[in-house]
Amino acid sequence: MSLARFLPILEWGRSYNAATFTSDLNAAVIVTIMLIPQSLAYAMLAGLPPEIGLYASILPLVAYALFGTSRTLAVGPVAVVSLMTLTAAGRVAEPGTQAFIEAAIALATLSGGILLLMGLLRLGFIANLLSHPVISGFITASGLLIAIGQLKSILGVSASGETLLLLALSLVQHLPDVHLPTLAVGLPALAFLFWVRKGLKPLLMQLGLPNRPAELIARAGPIMAVAASTAAVVAFDLDAAGVRVVGAVPQSLPPLGLPGFDAEQWQSLLIPALLISTIGFVESVSVAQTLAAKRRQRIQPDQELIGLGAANLASAASGAYPVTGGFARSVVNFDAGAETPAAGAFTAVGISLAALFLTPFLARLPVATLAATIIVAVLTLVDLKTPVRVWRYSRADFSAMAATILLTLTVSVEAGVTAGVVLSLALFLWRASRPHVAVVGQVPGTEHFRNILRHQVITYPNILTLRIDDSLTYLNMRWVEEFLIEELAEHPELEHVVLMCSAVNAIDASALESLEAINQRLVDGGIQLHLSEVKGPVMDRLQDTHFLQALSGRVFLSQHQAVEALRAG
């Protein structure tokens, strides 16, 4: 097996040149500017000291650059995983304590191990098992929870609660306690960050600035908010007036080391780590595939599991918490012209320099500004149009999506994501157990056969043709049997039943036994069973069985041939 299979850097590194280096470096500068305030904010959202957000944005990026397959995915702390970390670690320790930090590190270790094991076992297909409506619903609900939860920092109150109702009630109860100096910092920062996302770039271009410089300055909006609000705290001594600030941030690189092992703690965190791994991987690979398609590149889900697993293990070794690919950062990385994962490694260098030289300037950064940064970022994840579209198209998918949203908002994040996983699998199994089976007839003047409920077709009273639009498995064969029994009861004059197998890609052992039983049942009733349009691979498998010898009828190359032969006979 090629070493490049596990180290994609060996593939793209061969063609690396000065032009690619320049593109990656430019993208890294832009992403670094965006990532510094985000890293601090997401760490505090996870209930962790702000420097841990910086630590989670250094070695994980390097690890992904070595093992990941996406050229533009930007790995690091994200809002949803930060919220899930807070919820999971908060079950075993009090936020802000050393035990809580150790629980977050344990989550990163377990998540990394789970992802790595899944990658080695080639389980990347699990990304297809969670429906997009369910994932969209979970992310939307989580975004609402995060945004509402951060309002307490904008208002300067001590509201709390894990559900939407509890958070809202707590905020309302604490409205008389609003801290006006904090509100005076947080509200302008929030308004500015909302405006800068859409309004700053057009304004700069109207003033004559070229597109790329205008975009770079607009991306630096959070840095502007951080600088301005910190300057306001210093100038007016607002922290002395009660405005909560970040406080002293260690001026250092991550403290490298192996995480401690606590069997009881790790056991209690295993399921939350599995949920974090699953959600993080699905979100990450969806972003990676979307961006790769724009450049006609290819993502390998199995290797992505290894890349994200390595990133999470690197995060744990840095004393940090779970990471994954971020949507907003990845889009910025893509738009900024990143050509290879080396852009992530260069971003890690930029974050390292920030951790070494910029942290003294962060001590008086108001927490309200970081809260505003989180609110603006997560509200872009809230999608209220998709539920309406899903309702119009599929009520079953909508029910799964609605249940995920409601449980996330009213019970807990873990309950919501668990419901999403279970409902996704349940819907998949339900649909797989009910294949589309149609009675078909011949379109006049052609050799084509179509559903009798949709087209004006020719049928014959002694011939029943069923088209099965799925592979035959243990899950769906009972449904096919019941459908056939109903048709036999309605057509007592039948002499021939033809199974049109043009859409059957496989027949498993259980389905084969069912076919043998159906064949015998039809023989007992004086009816012959025939097959038509059987695919080559399926026919090859049937040749090695007793079924074809026991088949009462024939196997026809085409449905037209079958009807002509049976009608004439």
Enter the DSSP assignment of 260.
P
Query: Do 421 and 511 fall within a single domain?
Result: no
For residue 454, what are the contacts with CB-CB under 8 A and spacing of at least 6?
none
DSSP 8-state code for residue 162: S
Residue 419 pLDDT: 86
User: Does 458 map to a domain?
Assistant: yes
Of 396, 428, 460, which one is at a domain's C-terminal end? 428
Q: Give the integer Cα–Cα distance in Å for 225 and 212.
A: 21
DSSP assignment of 332-393 equals: HHHHTT--STHHHHHHHHHHHHHHHHTGGGGTT-BHHHHHHHHHHHHHTT--SSHHHHHHHH
Could you say which of 428, 463, 491 is where a domain stops? Answer: 428
416 lies in the same domain as 535: no
**Structural domain includes residue 74:** yes
Domain annotation covers residue 121:
yes
Q: How crowded is residue 518: how many other Cβ atoms within 10 Å of its Cβ? A: 18
- Structural contact between residues 319 and 52, judged by C-beta atoms closer than 8 angstroms: yes
Domain boundary among 428, 449, 473: 428
Report the chain (569 residues): mean pLDDT per 10 consecutive residues: 72 88 90 89 93 95 94 92 93 92 96 95 80 86 92 92 90 94 96 90 87 79 91 95 92 88 91 92 87 84 94 96 90 86 94 92 93 90 90 91 92 85 84 93 95 94 94 94 93 93 95 95 95 96 92 95 87
- Say what the pLDDT of residue 2 is: 61
| pLDDT for the residue 569 | 63
Same domain? 115 vs 216: yes
- Are 270 and 404 found together in one domain? yes
Q: Residues 224, 301: one domain? A: yes
Q: For residue 213, which phi and psi values (nearest 5 degrees)? A: -60, -40
412 in the same domain as 445? no
The packing angle between helices 180-198 and 221-236, to 10°, is: 160
Residues 419 and 443 in one domain: no
Do 380 and 484 belong together in one domain? no
Task: Evaluate whether residue 283 is within a structural domain.
Answer: yes
Domain shared by 178 and 311, yes or no = yes
The model's pTM: 0.83
The answer to whether the CB of 417 falls within 8 A of the CB of 271 is no
- Facing residues of 533 across strands? none
**Residue 365 included in any domain:** yes
Q: Residue 122 in 3-state DSSP?
A: coil
251 located within any domain: yes
The verdict on residue 13 lying in a domain is no
Residue 3 lies in a domain: no
Number of domains in the chain: 2
Q: Tell me the residue range of the domain where 184 lies.
A: 18-428
CATH at 526:
3.30.750.24
Question: 375 with 490, same domain?
Answer: no
Same domain? 191 vs 295? yes
Query: By the 8 A CB rule, do 80 and 19 touch?
Result: no
What confidence score (pLDDT) does residue 433 get?
93
Same domain? For 356 and 463 the reply is: no
